[in-house]
Amino acid sequence: MKDEILRRVSLIVAAVGAVLALAGFLSLAVRPLVEPSAYLVAGVAAVLFVRMLCSRDYRRGIDAANLAMQGAEAWHGQWKFFDPDWGLLGKRVGTPALIWVRAALYLGVLPIFLLQHWTGVKAGWLWFACTFVAIQLSIMHAAITAQTPES
């Protein structure tokens, strides 16, 4: 599969970063690691973004996934949060591990930022970077699976 090692390592980095962000609220010993980890995860996000941007295959796959997602709907901007294929837990936007990691990160953005505001720990930036990586991985997965013929 295309970029499988890059995508697996990126998912691990996002999951470990999220755990580190949560640990930053609980332990004083972990707090010095939060900011450098945010830079590391942001670097991974930049690498994934450039990889998708520079790959003709990913761009074609994103176009194909976009057409598959829109279907024959009159209004293409419909919200698909609970859609079984394209929603938060949709089967076409990631492997089971990616789907659950992305859902936990996505749903935790607001609580983490509120907690960051109350405690002063800058773990919200790490959490947001991890969420961005997970969303990019979902886009990459949708682009890859949209191009493969259904068997």
| Residue-level pLDDT at 151 | 40
For the packed helices 31-54 and 4-26, what is the interaxial angle rounded to 10 degrees?
Answer: 150
pTM of the model: 0.83
Q: Where in the chain are the domains?
A: 4-67+83-147
The CA distance from 58 to 144, in Å, is 7
Among 144, 148, 139, 151, residue whose Cα is nearest residue 49? 139
**How would you classify residue 42: left for phi > 0, otherwise alpha for psi between -120 and 50, otherwise beta?**
alpha
Tens-binned pLDDT, residue by residue, of the chain (151 aa): 578 899 899 999 999 999 999 898 888 888 889 889 999 999 999 999 999 888 888 888 877 777 777 766 656 665 666 565 666 666 667 788 888 888 899 888 888 888 887 776 778 889 999 999 999 998 888 888 877 655 4
